[in-house]
Amino acid sequence: METLNELSDLEMLFQILTFIAPLSGALRKRFEDFIITKTYPKKQKLLREGEISRQIFFIRKGSARAFYLDSDGREHTTWFMAPNDLMISVYSFYTQQPAAENIELLEDSILLSMTWDQLQTIYAEFPEYNYHGRLVTEKYYILSEERAILLRTKKPAERYRMLLLQHPKITQQASLGQIASFLGITQETLSRIRSGKRI
């Protein structure tokens, strides 16, 4: 039996989707017809603010973040994604309206992708896949709500510890400024937390 590390890019995606519910042979074949695999360089922008998100990505290797710019031009990171995550700008992708955020790769990455139109074709041809789609959408709305609760209720040091639990390699992938903006703290406060000082 293949281990997870030995699975092909597409088989890894199939295995993750099968955790939600079984995929029929015809549905797997449709995915194979549509999905493309591509290598992207670090700092590649997959989406820019104002563009419409027309692709859904599966991270096979690498990591990414979403961010927006405030009125002063400062970046605010809103989420991080890691290998085996499905990645979209949720509002823009599902509404096909302009995005309010940017999506940028933090490392050289291998991504599988499919377009919004192709996904709609799958939903139409395979009604059972709507169940997968619903659960994936729920997952990312829950993550968004968890982050909002985290910022409202947890102290900075606890926010940082929880981020490290979710993304153990984040300090190797993202800058301290990006991490601090995600946590809603200054870079100086983050440095004090990392050095074990009381804040």
Q: Please, what sign has the CA dihedral across residues 125, 128, 129, 135? A: positive
Query: Does the pLDDT value for residue 2 go beyond 80?
Result: no
- In terms of C-beta distances under 8 Å and separation of at least 24 residues, what long-range contacts does 11-17 make, across chains too? 12/60, 12/84, 13/58, 13/60, 13/112, 16/84, 17/132
**Average pLDDT of 89-106?**
94
pLDDT digits (tens, 9 = 90+) for 59-95: 999 999 999 999 999 999 999 999 988 888 988 998 9
CATH of domain 4-153: 2.60.120.10
Helix axes 116-125, 25-34, angle to 10 degrees: 160
- pLDDT at residue 135, as a whole number: 83
The domain ranges of the chain are 4-153, 154-199
Closest alpha carbon to 34 in 100, 129, 107: 129
Q: Could you give the CA distance from residue 80 to residue 104 in angstroms, rounded to a whole number? A: 10
pLDDT digits (tens, 9 = 90+) for 185-199: 999 999 999 988 665
The residues, ordered by sequence, that sit 6+ positions from 106 with a Cβ below 8 Å of its Cβ are: 42, 62, 63, 64, 65, 80, 173, 174
- pLDDT at residue 5, as a whole number: 46
Q: Could you give the CA distance from residue 100 to residue 83 in angstroms, rounded to a whole number? A: 24
- pLDDT at residue 197, as a whole number: 64
- pLDDT at residue 131, as a whole number: 85
CA atoms within 13 A on the CB side of 7: 14
Q: How many CB atoms lie within 10 A of CB 161?
A: 12
- pLDDT at residue 7, as a whole number: 58
pLDDT category, 10, cuts 50, 70, 90?
confident
Query: Does the pLDDT value for residue 113 go beyond 70?
Result: yes
**Average pLDDT of 113-133?**
92
